[in-house]
Amino acid sequence: MPGFIKLENELVDKLIELNLSGQEMRVLLCILKNQNDNHISYSQLAETLNTDKPRIAKIMRKLISNNLITVVQNNNGKKLYSINKDFAKWGELSKKTTVVKNDNPSKELEKSKKTKGLSKKTTPVVQKDNSPKRARKIEKNQELSKKTTPYKLKDDPLSNVIYAYKVKKGFELTDRDWDKVHWKRSARAGKLLLELFDNDVDKAIDCIDIVGDYLNRKNLEWTLETIIKYAPKFKKFPKDFE
């Protein structure tokens, strides 16, 4: 008798709303299929989806950074992946896009032109308020924003390398306490790793993914500095780490 997976209606509704590519959705479905035995390697995903391991690593980083997938490391050093059922924490990918059908595009275009013309004639000129009172209000709002604004991920090569390291080690991307203690040291190591790969962020992150898996299989503790030691060998003989 063929097997089956049991899905809650709410989860199915949320999956329908996701703004994902076909391959990203297929990775999610593979994670769902393995939810009872939720260890599946990047190599297994790549083989199942008929793609390469770096592509899988890139997709997984995207899904994990958007909190669609949770990662837990077991006592054997294996990464266990599962769908995050706390939908409130899902990132931008979970926002549903509403498409409004326009039955008369020519009429809508004409209306748009009229509206633009009207706005040019009637838009008042607002004088910028540079008073001390205004400056104090802006400063107060900025301070409040720092306290209430959610953690936002940076999109630059060095930050992406550190995020990949955090994910591989099982840390939460939004763990501010970790950042306060480890970010500066990790940034120094991250810069060296990027230099070794001629600032190619994808190759640097692949090195973290693959060498990290290699060290986990050997039950060895490792940091970004450890990855740097293995990086030259990885560049020449990447298959030695598979």
Domains of the chain are 1-95 (1.10.10.10), 154-242 (no CATH)
d(CA 87, CA 81): 16
* Cβ contact 77:219 at 8 Å: yes
Choose among 150, 176, 167, 234: nearest CA to 200. 234
201 in Cβ contact with 157 (< 8 Å): yes
Q: What percent of the chain has pLDDT over 90?
A: 15
pTM of the model: 0.46
* Cβ proximity of 38 and 69 under 8 Å: no
Q: Report which residue type is found at 3.
A: G
The residue ranking higher by pLDDT, 51 or 228, is 228
Provide the token pair at 164: 């990949």
**Arithmetic mean of pLDDT, 131-137:** 64
* Residue 99 clears pLDDT 70, i.e. is over it: no
192, 148 Cβ separation under 8 angstroms: no
- Separation CA 110–CA 107 (nearest Å): 5
Show the tokens assigned to 96: 């549903």
Q: Cα(94)–Cα(10) distance, rounded to whole angstroms?
A: 13
Find the range with the poorest average confidence among 72-76, 105-109, 211-215.
Answer: 105-109
pLDDT, mean of residues 31-47: 75
d(CA 97, CA 99): 6
